[in-house]
């Protein structure tokens, strides 16, 4: 956050706010509504990404990729790409075949997402606020993947999981 990343927080991020957030993540992981992946270097976390699983009956085939973060000291090493590929594999394993994410328009992350086959669905102006109070356009991306049971459509994957 201190380097200007748009991941839902505004700097300075206080210890209490960070602790409350990570407690809520731990709770969501425990109740099965969230997947958390962590990249480590020498036993130190340097990157993370989450998969927020839709829980309503009409959305059990989809999930939102959230909070892709790589520590500034570990950037340009392929960790963002590795985390994205790993979270997509986890989504596939879980039968989540429609993935969405959002990012601030113009951020370097857009290049990564496009390289990985994500499709721009649209932009919403004045969506996210920065620390200086300015409002930024957010770009929404989606990716359709085949589920772990493969070959079939997203509807087939949903039926296979429900049956």
* 163 in any annotated domain: no
pLDDT at 104 over 50: yes
Domain that holds residue 113: 15-157
* 6 in any annotated domain: no
pLDDT value, residue 11: 67
The closest of 101, 113, 95 to 59, measured between CA atoms, is 95
Query: pLDDT exceeding 90 applies to what percent of the chain?
Result: 68
The closest of 36, 99, 92, 113 to 62, measured between CA atoms, is 99
In this prediction the pTM is: 0.83
More confident residue, 27 or 10: 27
The closest of 141, 127, 143 to 8, measured between CA atoms, is 127
Reported confidence tier of residue 76, pLDDT bands at 50, 70, 90: confident
pLDDT value, residue 160: 33
Tell me the per-residue pLDDT of 54-75, one tens digit each, with 9 for 90 and over: 999 999 999 999 999 999 887 8
* 162 in any annotated domain: no
Domain total of the chain: 1
Stretch among 19-23, 35-39, 99-103, 111-115 having the lowest mean pLDDT: 19-23
For all residues of the chain together, what is the average pLDDT?
87
CATH number at residue 138: 3.40.630.30
Sequential DSSP letters for the chain:
-TT---SS--SS--HHHHHHHHHHHHHHHHHTSEEEEEEEETTEEEEEEEEEE--SGGGTTEEEEEEEEE-GGGTTSSHHHHHHHHHHHHHHHTT--EEEEEEETTSTHHHHHHHTT-EEEEEEEEEEE-TTS-EEEEEEEEEE---TT-SS-HHHHHHHHH-
């Amino acid at each position: 956050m201190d380097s200007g990343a748009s991941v839902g927080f505004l700097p300075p991020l206080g210890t209490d706010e960070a602790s409350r957030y990570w407690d809520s993540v731990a709770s969501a992981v425990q109740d099965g509504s969230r997947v958390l992946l962590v990249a480590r270097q020498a036993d130190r976390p340097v990157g993370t990404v989450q998969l927020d699983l839709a829980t309503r009956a009409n959305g059990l085939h989809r999930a939102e990729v959230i909070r892709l973060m790589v520590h500034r000291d570990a950037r340009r090493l392929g960790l963002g790409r590795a985390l994205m590929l790993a979270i997509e594999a986890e989504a596939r394993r879980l039968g989540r075949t429609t993935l969405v994410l959002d990012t601030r328009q113009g951020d370097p992350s857009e290049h990564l997402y496009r390289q990985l086959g994500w499709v721009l669905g649209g932009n919403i102006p004045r969506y996210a606020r920065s620390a200086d109070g300015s409002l930024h356009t957010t770009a929404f991306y989606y990716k359709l993947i085949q589920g772990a049971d493969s070959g079939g459509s997203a509807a087939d994957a949903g039926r296979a999981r429900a049956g």
